[in-house]
Structure 1
């Protein structure tokens, strides 16, 4: 519900959250390894990772719009703005120049920049408009436009915020059904920060 509320407060769609999930019996950072896509993944790797959780490529593209709000550490895109041979030519040159200012060589790894430099505090379809002009911050974002297999979907959502919102709600609802615990697999925590 916190995710839904944060999205709605940032101007995104509000949607019904399916309730009744049990909390897991264990929680560790190691359990996340291999389940989140690094910014270096190509379209096939992204599609396979999401498909492993019952999500389609369209779902993955819709959920990627979460990058319309939030931040990324300079190190996650440093190779795109000052690669070993040349900067990434799929990145908008003006954006790359700004990023080199904001993230100079040797910058503190804790420094982060907004992922959407146009509407950084608004959950909207600007993410897809940014991709169309080379302003995807992460390589895994920009490839959604540069790969001809995913480009038609990216081109569709800047035209209609309603179509994007419907696709996003459908995808995040499906994501909420991943790994649902039942019976002895989980419990209801009395304190969210502590296992019973």
Structure 2
């Protein structure tokens, strides 16, 4: 869930220009949003907000954006197109109390994590875009 935050344009260049190697943009992107992103992301080092409508407000607009095909990251947009998560997106987009309640539950669960080690070799990344270097 990305109601607040931003991404580098380099992380979505493939969606704007060469989705799945087709030389075309991702067809799931709202055409007006695609035009905005192409103007905003002329340089890969630029940043773009994850929530296009209320980027500095903790609210349900992130989910409304998904309903309008305005998910910045493909991993976010697929939440709306996947039949397993579609009902959750719809509930969050239309029922603010559900969103705030579920967020509170999630934050409490995260706050209760005590042991960060993992038997399967998992790790907490220093930078979420890269696997931690092994020394």
Q: Which TM-score band applies after superposition, normalised by the shorter structure?
A: 0.7 to 0.9
Cα RMSD over matched residues?
1.3
> Distance between the aligned counterparts of 1:178 and 1:159, measured in 2?
30
How many residue pairs get aligned? The number is: 113
Match of 1:161 in 2: 96
> Distance between the aligned counterparts of 1:99 and 1:147, measured in 2?
24
SS in structure 2 opposite 1:68? coil
> Distance between the aligned counterparts of 2:82 and 2:65, measured in 1?
15
Match of 2:15 in 1: 80
* Alignment match of 1:91 (pick from 11, 26, 29): 29
For 1:110-129, list aligned pairs within 5 A. 110-129=45-64
Question: Which runs of 5 or more residues in structure 2 are unaligned?
Answer: 117-135
TM (norm. structure 2) is 0.79
Match of 2:131 in 1: none
Question: Which runs of 5 or more residues in structure 1 are unaligned?
Answer: 1-63, 182-196
> Distance between the aligned counterparts of 1:80 and 1:136, measured in 2?
11
For 1:30-69, list aligned pairs within 5 A. 64=1, 67-69=2-4
